[in-house]
Structure 1
Amino acid sequence: MNARMAAFRERLGGFAFGGDYNPEQWDPAVWKEDVELMRRAGVNLVTVGVFAWASLEPSPGEFTFGWLDDVLDLLHAAGISVDLATPTTAPPVWLSHGHPDVLPVMEDGETFGFGNRLHFDPTSPRYRSHAVRIADRLASRYSQHPALAMWHISNEYGPTSYGPHAAAAFRVWLRRRYADLDALNDAWYTRFWGQRYTDWEQVAPPEVPRSWSNPARRLDFKRFISDALLECFIAERDAVRRYRDDIPILTNFMRFYRHADYWRWAPHEDAAALDIYPDPGRPGSHVSAALNFDLMRSLRGEPWVLMEQAASAVSQWKVNNVKRPGRMRLGSYQAIAHGADSVLFFQWRAGRGGHERFHSAMLPHSGPAARTFLEVAALGNELPLIAAVAGAPSSADVAVLFDWDAWWGLEVTHGLPRNDFDYTAIVESAYRPLFEAHYAVDLVSFGSDLSRYRILVVPNAYLVDDGFVAAVEEFAAAGGTVVVSFFSGVVDVNNQVRQPAYPGAFRRLIGAYIDEYWPAREGETFEVEFADGTTAIADWWQESLHPETATVLGTYTTGDLAGRPALIRNDHGSGCVVYIGTRLEPAALRDTLLSAVRAAGAAPVVEGAPPYVEAARRDRYLFLLNHSDARAATVTVPGPGRDLLTGAAVTDAVDLPPLGVAVVELS
């Protein structure tokens, strides 16, 4: 466990509670009221300075820290700790106006101008030097301030640039990766369409494709951008850490964000942190949220930080529904149940102007009598009841692959049998049955240790590296169960088709080969009959599967592949592999997955609870959450204990009202 985060939790006495605070947007007369209301709401941590660069450095080299001195002193006097941000996500206008080369160039060649956010080229040397300078000045002034509890580097890293700075940096990155042009040409298969390079200066970022473009080049550019953004974080992190080494440093990740490989980022931070805004108007959005929470916990294998959520509505969607009474509390406990050691919001006080003027806040425009503030304050004053849970670990028998290389390969490179794959939706479709059946799930990447799990689920891993292939084979040989879905193991890390025959990486593992992929025509469906005589409907995709050592679990009974296998099972060493060669309807996918999970010996957190009840454990603490706003539930628990929220003794079951939460410390 990270020592800096352990000290952070000890300082706060449990869970961090609060959110982004932007005092520079308000008259100083408001600050005292803010602090008084924060104390009433149980706030113990606020993030300060995220968008404050222009207020801290209004002109080049002119630093105005007096107002920030006053704010930090005021917060400290009230017993509120500070997560101090470097403000480099929002460079001031003097930088972009005086030096337009810091602005990113978009894929179509147009410059992304000032007036939005993330208006910087992460590969611009000038941007990087100014970012490190403001980070250094902040750290030199505030590293010993008694309010400081955490450093927050920039915010929601994300901009991609295709300009001259990016081109030069991309070539440097490619030289490190491939060493020479011959290796690059081989990796990119430039013999196709006569794209062979003879000089490094000829290599540039991929432009907007007028028809199609080299898939390996596009894939490498995604990898490069993730690394370029990470270099920005590391440069600021190191500038800050020079002044003090015991304060945790992190930045905030985003829900299913495609431009940064968080597996590569997480080791460079003291904790994974997440900004997430589940849509209150979309049924089932809590399942996607749980998947994101499990990903955050899995990135470092330890508790994480919920850095931003909404107290009620957001402002970025076509229709921005409020969180109905009880939903904010329920979602906050859901994050904690999946390993979060904080409940933080964007933002403390609702802004009067700007794009997010109608984004909800802990303190709404209508003031402290508002429903939202009263719910926030109730939660903030309730969380100390479960303070002992902070830092508690989680464990799982079930692993689901979620890897950025697999994602990029499937979605950003084009030229596939069909080009409308949605990787995150595919992963979620495999995760949902496990979630609703109350199994604990870890997410894993190509480089993860698989030995601790009983079963591994591999959803549509079109691109896999050799190390992962070897690890999966070793996992199965040692007795693990593997479930692989269609169009997996097809290409290597350079996006080149593995030879011979599909699926080149997994042919021995699944005990079969595929001679042809058959994407379905619009509206086309297929009936699948299983060995027990039950049937299901499949659609969207078929494969012409030829078993070698595998046995058939399901067969097409309609369509051009009638009589051919749709699902197969293969023994591999002491373990087994189930391969699903089509897109099964949800109920059939659920039954297939849960049958494999049970056969692997994985145990659910609780037995017999309805699917609208969520169950999760952190060490001896059992979380039960009722996501229905109309139905109550009685949940059998695995042993006696005490509900930390009510103090009531628990014997063999817990009654959950609609939207109810229980946190049971098991004896």
Structure 2
Amino acid sequence: MNPRMAAFRARLGGFAFGGDYNPEQWEPAVWKEDVQLMRRAGVNLVTLGVFAWASLEPEPGRFTPEWLDEVMDLLHDAGISVDLATPTMAPPVWLSHEHPEVLPVVEDGTTFGFGNRLHFDPTSVHYRSAAARITRMLAQRYSQHPALAMWHISNEYGPVAYTPSSAAAFRQWLRRRYGNLDGLNDAWYTRFWGQRYTSWEQVNPPELPRSWSNPTRRLDYQRFVSDALLECFVAERDIVREYRDDIPVLTNFMRFYRRADYWAWAAAEDAVALDIYPDPGQADSHVAAALNFDLMRSLRGEPWILMEQAASSVSQWKVNNVKRPGRMRLGSYQAIAHGADSVLYFQWRAGRGGHERFHSAMLPHSGTRARSWKEVEALGNELPRIAEALGSTSTAQVAVLFDWNAWWGLETTYGLPRNDFDYPKLTTEHYRPLLQAQHAVDLISFGSDLSRYRVVVVPNAYLISDGFAAALEEFVAGGGTLVCSFFSGVVDLANQVRQPAYPGALRRLIGAYIDEYWPAREGETFTVRSADGTLSTADWWQDSLHPETARVLGSYVGGDLDGRAAIVENTVGEGRVVYIGTRLAEAALRDTLLEAVSVAGVAPVVAGAPEHVEATRRVHDGAAYLFLLNHSDTGSATVALPAPGVDLLTGAAVAGSITLEPAGVVVVRMVAPQ
């Protein structure tokens, strides 16, 4: 476990509870009231300074941090720790006014102007210089302040720029990746459409073309953008570590965010942190939330930080529904159940103005009389009851691939049999049955160690690396089970089709080849008959699949591919591969996945629970903490317990079974299984 995070946990003594605090938006008279109410609500950590650059440096090089001194002191005197942010995600107007080239140019050639946030080109030397200056001032002034518990570098990294500065940086990135122009031309397959480069100065970012553009050029620009943004984080991280090296440094990730490869980013941080806003208007939004939570835990294989969530509604969607009573508590415990060591919000006090003036807050506009305040206050005072679970970890025997290169290849490069793939949605479709059957799940990347798993699920991984293909071969040969979905293993990291036949990287594993990909016509569906005669429905896609060593598990009934294989299984070494060549309906996909998991000998966290009950287990020092969450709005649920224990939220001894009310939560401590 990271020693900086261990010290952070020891300092707080329990789960972090609090959120973004923006005192610069309020008169000093409000600050003391805020601190009093924070103590009443059980707040022990607040994030300061995220939007405060203009308040800290109103003119270039003139700093005015005295207000922050006072707030830091107030919080420390109240026993509240600070996660201090560098405010570099919202540069002041003077920076872009004096240096207009700092503003990013978007893909269509227009300038992203001042008035929002993230209005900077991450490769700009003027931006990076100014960001380093404000970061150094904060580090010099506050590194030894007794309230400081964590550094929060910038916020929700994301800008992409198509500027001369970005072009120059992109060329340097390509030189490091390919060495010379011959390597670049080969990787980009520039012999097509006569695109061969003869000078580095000819290479530019893939700005919006008249029609189509080189797919590998687009793919590499996605990789470059992630690396350029990471350089900004590392530069500020290294500055604050110059002054103090014993507290965590991190930034906050976002739900299903495509521009930054979080597997690469996680290794550069002391902990993973997530901002997430599931839509209360979507009945199953908790499923994608759970996937994101498991992804955050998997990125470093350890507990993570829930950095932002909403106390109730947000303000960014067409309709912003409130969280119904009990749902904020349920969602908070869901994050903890999947490995979070915190429950933090955006933001503490609702803002009077600005774009997010109707975004909910821990302390809403109606103050302590509000329903949502009462729920926040109750949760903050309840969390200490489960403090002993802090720092506990999770293990899983099932893994689902979620890799940014696979995502980028599938969604950003175009020229595919169909160009409307939604990688997060497809991954969620494969994850949902596992969650609803109460299985523990890790997320993995191309570079992950597969040896700890019994089952690996690969959803629609059009692009995979040679290393991952080899790892899958070793995994299956050694006795593992691979479940793989259509249009996987088709191209290499350079986005070039593997030879001689689809799916080049996986042909031996699946024991079949594909001669054509058949995307479905509008409204077209297919019938699939399993080996036992069961009929199910599929849509969206068909592989024209030809078994070689594989055995057919399901065949098409009717249509142009009548009688042809839709699902096959293959034995490789000691292991098993199940390949799904179409987009099965939800029930059929569930049955296929759960059959594979069962045959592989993987047991769920609890047995026989209804699918609206979520079950996870965290383990620490010989104790297992079983989290049970009932996502039903109307029905209670009874769950058989795997062992007797103590319900930490009530203090009651429990055995046999336990009943959860709608939106109910139970946390049971029991002896960890051997």
Instruction: Indicate the TM-score class for this superposition, using the shorter chain for normalisation.
Output: over 0.9
What are the residue-to-residue correspondences of 1:25-424 with 2, within 5 Å? 25-424=25-424
Select the residue among 648, 654, 660 that pairs with 1:644.
648
Give the distance between the partners of 2:537 and 2:372, measured in 1 at CA.
45
Give the distance between the partners of 2:563 and 2:280, measured in 1 at CA.
45
Aligned to 2:499: 499
Give the distance between the partners of 2:60 and 2:79, measured in 1 at CA.
34
Aligned to 2:613: 613
Can you list the C-alpha shifts for 1:522-571, whole angstroms capped at 9, x where unaligned? 11111110001101011111111111111100011111000110000000
Give the distance between the partners of 1:626 and 1:526, measured in 2 at CA.
35
Give the distance between the partners of 1:456 and 1:336, measured in 2 at CA.
24
Aligned to 1:659: 663
User: TM-score, normalization: structure 2?
Assistant: 0.99
Give the distance between the partners of 1:132 and 1:177, measured in 2 at CA.
27
Q: CA deviation at 1:289?
A: 0.3
Give the distance between the partners of 1:163 and 1:411, measured in 2 at CA.
23
* Counterpart amino acid of residue 640 in structure 2: T
Give the distance between the partners of 2:133 and 2:509, measured in 1 at CA.
53
Can you list the C-alpha shifts for 1:251-288, whole angstroms capped at 9, x where unaligned? 00000000000000000000000000000001100000
Q: CA deviation at 1:369?
A: 1.5
SS in structure 1 of the partner of residue 484 of structure 2:
strand
The number of aligned residues is 667
SS in structure 2 of the partner of residue 161 of structure 1:
coil
Give the distance between the partners of 2:563 and 2:169, measured in 1 at CA.
54
Can you list the C-alpha shifts for 1:411-442, whole angstroms capped at 9, x where unaligned? 00000000010000000000000000000000
Aligned to 2:444: 444
Give the distance between the partners of 2:463 and 2:477, measured in 1 at CA.
22
Aligned to 1:559: 559
Q: CA deviation at 1:212?
A: 0.6
471-480 or 365-374: which moved more? 365-374
Q: CA deviation at 1:209?
A: 2.2
* Counterpart amino acid of residue 583 in structure 2: R
Give the distance between the partners of 1:34 and 1:422, measured in 2 at CA.
43
SS in structure 1 of the partner of residue 668 of structure 2:
strand
Give the distance between the partners of 1:329 and 1:539, measured in 2 at CA.
38
Give the distance between the partners of 1:590 and 1:76, measured in 2 at CA.
51
Q: CA deviation at 1:368?
A: 1.2
Tell whether 2:494 aligns with 1:490: no
SS in structure 2 of the partner of residue 7 of structure 1:
helix
* Counterpart amino acid of residue 656 in structure 1: L
Give the distance between the partners of 1:296 and 1:222, measured in 2 at CA.
21
Give the distance between the partners of 2:629 and 2:517, measured in 1 at CA.
42
Give the distance between the partners of 1:322 and 1:542, measured in 2 at CA.
40
Give the distance between the partners of 1:288 and 1:23, measured in 2 at CA.
33
Can you list the C-alpha shifts for 1:152-196, whole angstroms capped at 9, x where unaligned? 000000000001110000000000000000000000000000000
SS in structure 2 of the partner of residue 432 of structure 1:
helix
SS in structure 2 of the partner of residue 489 of structure 1:
coil
Can you list the C-alpha shifts for 1:30-55, whole angstroms capped at 9, x where unaligned? 00000000000000000000000000
Give the distance between the partners of 2:251 and 2:398, measured in 1 at CA.
28
* Counterpart amino acid of residue 652 in structure 1: G
Aligned to 2:630: 626
Give the distance between the partners of 2:96 and 2:155, measured in 1 at CA.
18
* Counterpart amino acid of residue 666 in structure 2: A
Can you list the C-alpha shifts for 1:612-658, whole angstroms capped at 9, x where unaligned? 11101101000000111100011001000000000010111111011
Give the distance between the partners of 1:631 and 1:563, measured in 2 at CA.
43
Give the distance between the partners of 2:484 and 2:465, measured in 1 at CA.
15
Give the distance between the partners of 2:603 and 2:655, measured in 1 at CA.
21
SS in structure 1 of the partner of residue 40 of structure 2:
helix
SS in structure 2 of the partner of residue 118 of structure 1:
coil
Give the distance between the partners of 2:300 and 2:352, measured in 1 at CA.
38
Can you list the C-alpha shifts for 1:471-526, whole angstroms capped at 9, x where unaligned? 00000000000000000000000000000000000001101100111111111111
Q: CA deviation at 1:207?
A: 1.1
Aligned to 1:602: 602
RMSD of aligned residue pairs (Cα, Å): 0.5
Give the distance between the partners of 1:545 and 1:212, measured in 2 at CA.
30
Q: CA deviation at 1:3?
A: 0.7
Give the distance between the partners of 2:42 and 2:230, measured in 1 at CA.
34
Give the distance between the partners of 1:33 and 1:126, measured in 2 at CA.
39
Give the distance between the partners of 2:115 and 2:546, measured in 1 at CA.
57
Give the distance between the partners of 1:625 and 1:557, measured in 2 at CA.
40
* Counterpart amino acid of residue 178 in structure 1: Y
Q: CA deviation at 1:151?
A: 0.2
SS in structure 2 of the partner of residue 540 of structure 1:
strand
Give the distance between the partners of 2:336 and 2:210, measured in 1 at CA.
47
SS in structure 2 of the partner of residue 319 of structure 1:
coil
SS in structure 2 of the partner of residue 204 of structure 1:
coil
Q: CA deviation at 1:65?
A: 0.9
* Counterpart amino acid of residue 121 in structure 2: D
Give the distance between the partners of 2:178 and 2:140, measured in 1 at CA.
39
* Counterpart amino acid of residue 158 in structure 1: G
Can you list the C-alpha shifts for 1:589-632, whole angstroms capped at 9, x where unaligned? 00000000001111100001101111011010000001111000
Q: CA deviation at 1:14?
A: 1.2
Give the distance between the partners of 1:465 and 1:236, measured in 2 at CA.
32
* Counterpart amino acid of residue 284 in structure 1: D
User: TM-score, normalization: structure 1?
Assistant: 1.00
* Counterpart amino acid of residue 101 in structure 2: D
Give the distance between the partners of 2:543 and 2:373, measured in 1 at CA.
54
Give the distance between the partners of 1:257 and 1:38, measured in 2 at CA.
31
SS in structure 2 of the partner of residue 268 of structure 1:
coil
* Counterpart amino acid of residue 119 in structure 2: H
Can you list the C-alpha shifts for 1:64-102, whole angstroms capped at 9, x where unaligned? 010000000000000000000000000000001111011
* Counterpart amino acid of residue 639 in structure 2: V
* Counterpart amino acid of residue 30 in structure 1: V
Give the distance between the partners of 2:547 and 2:281, measured in 1 at CA.
45
SS in structure 2 of the partner of residue 242 of structure 1:
helix
SS in structure 2 of the partner of residue 368 of structure 1:
helix
- Unmatched runs of 5 consecutive residues or more in structure 2: none
SS in structure 2 of the partner of residue 160 of structure 1:
coil
Can you list the C-alpha shifts for 1:374-420, whole angstroms capped at 9, x where unaligned? 11010000000000111000000100000000000000000000001
